[in-house]
Structure formats: C-alpha cells, structure tokens
C-alpha cells in the first residue's frame, strides 16, 4: 500500500503529523493507499519555501518562465495517459473522461505559455507637458489553491501554471480523496525546470485549509468546491486580508423549447447529466421541458439512459464509472425514493445497480425523475451524482423564471432552433456560463470560467483574462523629465496641461 506524501521545496517531504487519510479505488472499494495529512507546521514549511523562492522567481525573465512552461506542456502531453490512469484509479471516472480532463488542463498551460503577450502593460505619452503614464501588472507573492476531488488534475492546472507564469509562487492543497494525480503534476513541473519552492504541495483536511486561509504570507486563495465551503473560504480568507476567488456549487438547468431537435436534446441531456457519474459542477441536473414536448423528451432520455453501460473506469466499454466514496453513493441514492415519496415519477431507477465482479465498488446506475417540482429535495439540493430531474413548464417565460429563481448561477443551456429566443435567453438568464445547443458550456482557456450568485464568491472568474488579473495587481507610474529651464514651487492641484 503506497503512501502519498507532500512536495515541499522541490522534493518529497514525508508527513510529520502522524495523521493519514484513506485512499481507495472506487471501483473495488479497496484501500489502495494512504495520504499524509499536514498539520499547521507543515503548511508553514510549504509557505516559507514559496516565500523564499518568490524574489528570484518574480524577477526572472518572461522568456525564462515561458521556456519552463513550454517544457511543462510537453511533459504533460507525454504523460497524459499516466495521469489519466492515476485519476481513474482514485477517482473512478472512465479512462477516456480522465484523458479529456487532462486535455482541458493542458489548455490553460498553453495559455500560460503566452504570458508575455498577456502581461503587456499600457503607456500613454505626453498626457501633460513632457509627462508619460505607464500601467503595469505585477505578481502578488505567495498564492494558494485548494482543489476538489472531481477534477484532480484539471482544476490544479487551472490555477498554478497561470499563477507562476505571472511571477507568483504557489502552495497547492488538492483533495485528499484522490491526491496522486496532483502530486504527479507537481513532480513533472519540477522536471520541466520550475525552481525549487516555486510550486509546493501539501495534502490535508480542515487543519491545513484553515491555516492556508489565515497564513499572513499568503496573498491570495483560489478555491473550487461546494457552496458551503466556498462561503467559508471567502469569508475567512477575506477577513485575513487576502484576495479570494471561491467557486461553489451548482444546479445547472437545460431549457428545451418545443422547436428543438429532441433527439439532439436527449443526447445532450444524457451526456451532460451522467458523464463522470454526475460529479461535475457543470453537469446538467435539471431539464426544463416547455409544453407540449415533455412526454416525448422524457421517453427519449429514458431510452438512452437505460442503454448506458456502467462499470470500472479501466474497462474501455464502460461509459460511466463509480462514485468517489460509499458514503456519497448512499447519499445520492437516497434522493430517488425520497423524490417518489414527494410526488415525482421515477422513470429510471438506477439505485439497485450491481456490477458483476465489482460488488464492493461504489457503483450506482443512472436515475431519471419526471414531474419534479421546485419544492422537492431532488430539485433543491446539489445531488452531485447521476440523478436527472425533469421539470415541466408551460412557456419560455416560466422556464426562464424558474432558472433565474435558483440560488445558483453556474452554467445553463437552451436548446432551440430559434435564433431570437436563443439571443434573448443568453441576455436574460442569470448565470455565468451559457450554452446555446451546448449542454456543458465550459469556456475555452482564453475565456474565463465562473458562475453567478451562490456559485461564485469573489470578484474574479478563474483562468483567462480574469485569471491574469486575479494573480496580478496593477501599478501606475507617472514620469516627467523636466527641461533645464523648469523650476519653481507650485502648490496648485496638478493639471494636465
């Protein structure tokens, strides 16, 4: 059984706290490793290493940083299958999905490779007589990232490559449930030429997180996870004077208008609801069917859902793997009988699924609930599993009202052939990411990812232009080169003349 350790100052650092978390293979239910859980002193060591590395790294040339990032991009590409295998072994998602996760993370590394263009400042000459003004952006210092279990490679890659490209140093705290992929990312960064101390990694639980949020030498914190924890991170880190971007939970709605291609809408609903076993913050969890298409759309979704193959992520035939833990599997399953009790129609019930040869795995089949109403628990809660609810509404206006009344505003989508309706929806819907006939509208790397309302705490989205602004701060220099004839005292307010 392997032990997953920390990474501090360019090398493996054995845990000193004596506390360990359990790492399992969700497909078998067996413990495959243990992960060291950092105490406050170990977090302090990682932050001290990053602080010591900051002056040198922040003064390194853009050309030097870019070369390291290009090296890193090539190493990630060469090791993408290895990284995907680590994800499958500890998270459970199918291998093809894990490869897709690595590919989306690579997009942000490629964005970071263009950092000289992204960090260019602005200059205005002769704003006044022989006066020039220049705006530049500079790194913050030591920044931290706290990342979730559902994307153990992609979300860290959304953070630290861009942060270090801007000249910061970084402390990563990945999920303790599936930590091996994140550790491998950091090892490869060192191999690519990232200097010791520039990227550090500590595993841990609440003790480690709270220390990062309070540490006086950390300037900013990035977080992705559930809404309650995002609120805690934002509140605590902000109270300690830090810049914060905290991405929370979601309840993503997909509005289907009567003119939509229902076969395409059903394909999209199944893909977006059940991919990665629903453990995505961008998963579609509610289909809003506008009358009179409800019956036909539900039938098409059910037909496709029943045909899905659930099995271990290592089996190429598997389309959906297990959930992350037994406890989470049981919690997700509990929503289906509760929905039936509360008046929903259970069209597909996957809660009793067993996978032959993997009876101890954390498997669950897909479930489809029809005639769900907003008062039901299945609608109110972020289930984070393969349970899709269908809500029926009489009109576009009622569907929009339903979506906008949600306390979450992460992603949403509309399926229609009406360009006017699509344009109206993208302007009127209250969500940070909108898809038009695209069920999972995750932006490409050179745009930014983030939601509204209880899906985001803080002022900046992640990666893209917002990421650059989050990991840097502006400075304006006003310069005057006086003529030898200038002189004299003037106590008046400076004027641009």
CATH code, domain carrying 55:
3.40.605.10
Helices (H), 203-308: 206-214, 227-239, 262-274, 294-306
User: Do residue 313 and residue 324 come from a single domain?
Assistant: yes
281 is catalytic: yes
What residues contact 398, with CB distance under 8 A and at least 6 apart? none
> Cβ atoms within 10 A of the Cβ of 18, count?
8
Q: Are residues 173 and 110 in the same domain?
A: yes
Residues 301 and 216 occupy one common structural domain: no
Does residue 483 lie in a domain region? no
Q: Report if residue 444 sits inside a domain.
A: no
What pLDDT does 497 receive? 59
Within-domain flag for 494: no
Q: Classify residue 493: in a domain, yes or no.
A: no
What lies within 8 Å, CB to CB, of 263 at 6+ separation is 300
Same domain, 183 and 312: no
The pLDDT score that the predictor gives to residue 481 is 86
Return all residues near 401 (Cβ < 8 A) that are at least 6 apart. Answer: none
Number of domains making up the chain: 2
- CATH number, domain of 296, equals 3.40.309.10
Question: Which residues are paired to 172 by β-bridges?
Answer: 145, 201
By residue range, what is the domain housing residue 11?
Answer: 2-249+451-477
Blockwise average pLDDT, block size 10, the chain, 497 residues: 96 95 98 98 98 98 97 98 98 98 97 96 94 97 98 98 98 98 98 98 97 98 97 98 97 98 98 98 97 98 98 98 98 98 98 97 98 98 98 98 98 98 98 97 94 96 95 97 76 72
In a domain, 492, yes or no: no
Same domain, 424 and 468: no
Answer yes or no: do 169 and 187 share one domain: yes
Asked if 239 and 264 sit in the same domain, the reply is no
Decide if 11 is inside a domain.
yes
- Together in a domain, 265 and 349: yes
Is residue 102 a part of any domain in this protein? yes
Give which of 410, 358, 355 is closest to 384, Cα–Cα.
410
Strand partners, 142: 169, 218
Name the active-site residue from 109, 164, 281, 348.
281
215 shares a domain with 72: yes
Residues 368 and 298: beta-carbon distance below 8 Å:
yes
Give the per-residue pLDDT at 492: 79
Query: Residue 355 in contact with residue 378, Cβ under 8 Å?
Result: no
| Residue 275 DSSP symbol | G
In a domain, 496, yes or no: no
Distance between CA 293 and CA 259 in Å, rounded? Answer: 9
Q: Are residues 244 and 268 in the same domain?
A: no
């Amino acid at each position: 059984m392997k032990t997953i350790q920390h990474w501090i100052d360019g090398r493996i650092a054995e845990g000193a706290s004596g506390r360990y978390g359990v790492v399992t293979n969700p497909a078998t239910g067996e413990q495959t490793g243990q992960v060291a859980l950092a105490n406050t002193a170990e977090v302090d060591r990682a932050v001290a290493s990053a602080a010591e590395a900051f002056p040198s790294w922040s003064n390194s040339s853009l050309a030097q940083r870019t070369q390291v990032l290009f090296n890193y991009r090539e190493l990630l590409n060469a090791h993408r299958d290895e990284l995907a295998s680590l994800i499958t072994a500890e998270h459970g998602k199918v291998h093809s999905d894990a490869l897709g996760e690595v590919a989306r993370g690579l997009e942000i590394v490629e964005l970071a490779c263009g950092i000289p263009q992204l960090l260019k400042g602005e200059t205005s000459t002769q704003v006044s007589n022989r006066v020039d003004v220049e705006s530049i952006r500079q790194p913050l210092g030591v920044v931290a990232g706290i990342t979730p279990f559902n994307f153990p490679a992609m979300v860290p890659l959304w953070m630290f490559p861009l942060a270090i490209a801007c000249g910061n140093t970084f402390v990563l705290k990945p999920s303790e449930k599936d930590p091996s992929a994140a550790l491998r990312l950091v090892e490869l960064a060192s191999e690519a030429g990232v200097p010791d101390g520039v990227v550090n990694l500590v595993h841990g639980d609440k003790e480690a997180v709270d220390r990062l949020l309070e540490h006086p030498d950390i300037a900013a914190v990035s977080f992705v996870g559930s809404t309650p924890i995002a609120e805690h991170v934002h509140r605590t880190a902000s109270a300690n004077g830090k810049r914060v971007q905290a991405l929370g939970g979601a309840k993503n709605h997909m509005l289907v208008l009567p003119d939509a291609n229902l076969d395409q809408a059903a394909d999209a609903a199944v893909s977006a609801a059940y991919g990665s076993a629903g453990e995505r913050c961008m998963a579609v969890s509610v289909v809003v069917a506008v009358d009179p298409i409800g019956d036909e759309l539900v039938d098409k979704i059910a037909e496709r859902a029943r045909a899905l193959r659930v099995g271990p992520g290592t089996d190429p035939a598997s389309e959906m793997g297990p959930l992350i833990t037994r406890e989470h599997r049981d919690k997700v399953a509990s929503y289906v009988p509760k929905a039936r009790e509360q008046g929903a129609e259970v069209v597909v019930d996957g809660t009793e699924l067993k996978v032959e040869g993997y009876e101890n795995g954390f498997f669950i089949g897909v479930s489809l609930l029809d005639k769900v109403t907003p008062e039901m628990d299945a609608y109110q809660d972020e289930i984070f599993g393969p349970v899709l609810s269908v809500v029926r509404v009489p009109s576009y206006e009622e569907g929009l009202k339903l979506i906008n009344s949600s306390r979450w505003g992460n992603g949403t989508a509309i399926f229609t052939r009406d360009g006017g309706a699509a344009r109206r929806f993208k302007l009127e819907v209250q969500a940070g990411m909108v898809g038009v006939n695209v069920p999972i509208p995750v932006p490409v790397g050179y745009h930014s990812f983030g939601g509204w309302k209880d899906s985001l705490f803080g002022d900046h989205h992640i990666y893209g232009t917002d990421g650059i602004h989050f990991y840097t701060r502006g400075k304006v220099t006003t310069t005057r080169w006086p003529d030898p004839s200038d002189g004299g005292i003037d106590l008046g307010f400076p004027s641009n003349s």
